[in-house]
Amino acid sequence: MNLILLGAQGSGKGTQSALLAQRFGLDPCASGDLLREAMAKGTPAGQQARPYYERGDLVPDELMVGMILERLRGLSDARGIILDGFPRNHAQADVLDARLAEMGQSIARAIYLEVPRALLLERLSGRYICRAHGHVYNIETNPPKTPGICDIDSSELYQRSDDTGEKIQHRLDIFFSETLQLTDYYARQGKLVTVDGTQSIADVNHAILAKLGAA
């Protein structure tokens, strides 16, 4: 089973991806995590992506698609993948469908986490992620047991460089003007599932499982 998580910045894609990956034994693939890892390592792709990422702009399709296709190579051996943050436009969605078809696979469901803009801003301002693996916390809604330390791997928690007021607004503008159209793309394929993302983390997870027929 291959799943896509669609949703604005702060809607809970990373949070739910971790839970669904564990529940179904899926391989989690987050485009933002791939970029942050490449930038931290200083790879050529990471260096090219950095200025776009730091502005809160989308990284050019050819660069992002290249990284995702590379990541999909091992997919045939895995039980399935859960994509978080990719695709973000029609061009990326088309490439993904074509690549999966070549591999004899397809997307089973695209899950849209619907959250109003005001709540997204609040969540992102309180978000911290861990240095080692990008595990996600929130000082208000999902705090770590020890402040500043990841519960899972004990690495340091930090705030992302793109989680500042102005950049958050810019990223949200891109989502609502461009990426949101993908809900129509997957609805036309009969694969769209929409979930109310304003509920608690556990309730959102339960709602997703119910819509997948796995609650």
> Binding ligand AP5 by CB under 6 A: which of 32, 38, 39, 82?
32
Q: How far apart are CA 177 and CA 215, in angstroms?
A: 33
Looking only at the bridges linking them, the beta strands covering 157-158 and 136-138 are unpaired
Site string for ligand AP5, 116-145 (x = CB under 6 A): -------xx-xx--------xxx--xx---
- For ligand AP5, which stretch binds (CB under 6 A), given 37-45, 57-65, 69-77, 102-110? 57-65
> Binding Mg ion by CB under 5 A: which of 7, 10, 12, 14?
14
Site string for ligand AP5, 68-107 (x = CB under 6 A): -----------------xxxx---x---------------
Residue number, 59 or 104, with CB nearest to ligand AP5 = 59
Which residue's beta carbon is nearest to the bound ligand AP5?
Answer: 32
Task: Name which of Mg ion, ligand AP5, none residue 97 binds, using a CB cut-off of 5 to 8 Å depending on partner kind.
Answer: none
| Nearest alpha carbon to residue 129 among 154, 153, 156 | 156
**Is residue 33 exposed (0-12), middle (13-18) or buried (19+ Cβ within 10 Å)?**
middle
| Nearest alpha carbon to residue 163 among 46, 16, 88, 53 | 53
Using rule CB under 5 A, residue 46 touches Mg ion: no
Q: How far apart are CA 131 and CA 128, in angstroms?
A: 10
> Binding ligand AP5 by CB under 6 A: which of 12, 20, 29, 45?
12
Using rule CB under 6 A, residue 9 touches ligand AP5: yes
| Nearest alpha carbon to residue 125 among 162, 155, 150 | 162
123 in active site: no
What is the chain's percent helix, strand, coil content, to nearest 5?
50, 15, 35
Q: Is 137 helix (H, G, I), strand (E, B) or coil?
A: strand
Looking only at the bridges linking them, the beta strands covering 109-114 and 192-196 are parallel
Task: Name which of ligand AP5, Mg ion, none residue 169 binds, using a CB cut-off of 5 to 8 Å depending on partner kind.
Answer: none
Q: How far apart are CA 171 and CA 88, in angstroms?
A: 12
Using rule CB under 6 A, residue 186 touches ligand AP5: no
List contacts with ligand AP5 (CB under 6 A).
Answer: 7, 9-15, 31-32, 35, 52-53, 56-59, 64, 85-88, 92, 123-124, 126-127, 136-138, 141-142, 162, 171, 199-201, 204
